[in-house]
Amino acid sequence: QVQLQQWGAGLLKPSETLSLTCAVYGGSVSGDYWSWIRQSPGKGLEWIGEINHSGSTNYNPSLKSRVTISVDTSKNQFYLKVNSVTAADTAVFYCARVLRGIIPYYYYMDIWGKGTTVTVSS
């Protein structure tokens, strides 16, 4: 079955760039959508954005100016970059597989990575 393994730097200084990788095992990054979600300490879930195998993306408007999601089909991986981080970006970040319609009247995340804790502190 498909599993997601994620990793990236866990401690950043303000203004640095957050970079995370999510590797897809037991399946292919092609043919599906893939997303990033974050959860600030003690808070709820926040959808960051999504990408498909051809590189088509959708982003949360609240983060769009600072976020880039990309995919490398040759490595079966997808990525998250967040520029100019601040303490408000401290969170656990999750990658997930998305099952959705072309028009996303149905949309859900069925497989999740274990999460990566990112702390932004000077």
Partner 1 sequence: QSVLTQPPSVSAAPGQKVTISCSGSSSNIGNNYVSWYQQVPGTAPKLLIYDNNKRPSGIPDRFSASKSGTSATLGISGLQTGDEADYYCGTWETSLSALYVFGTGTKVTVL
List of residues contacting partner 1 (CB under 8 A) = 35, 37, 44-47, 50, 58-61, 94, 99-100, 104-110, 112-115
**How near is the Cβ of 59 to partner 1 at its closest, in Å?**
8
**How near is the Cβ of 13 to partner 1 at its closest, in Å?**
26
CB 85 within 8 A of CB 67: no
Rank residues 16 and 46 by Cβ distance to partner 1 and give the closer one.
46
Task: Give, in order, the Cα–Cα distances in Å from 110 to each of 2, 55, 69, 92, 99.
Answer: 10, 20, 19, 18, 7
Rank residues 35 and 77 by Cβ distance to partner 1 and give the closer one.
35
Query: 97: helix, coil or strand?
Result: strand
**How near is the Cβ of 69 to partner 1 at its closest, in Å?**
13
Phi then psi for residue 92, to 5 deg, are -95, 130
Output the six-digit token pair for 7.
């990793």
In Å, the largest CA–CA distance within the chain is 43
**How near is the Cβ of 74 to partner 1 at its closest, in Å?**
27
Rank residues 16 and 119 by Cβ distance to partner 1 and give the closer one.
119
Q: CA 108, 70, 66, 61: dihedral to nearest 10 degrees?
A: -30
Rank residues 58 and 68 by Cβ distance to partner 1 and give the closer one.
58
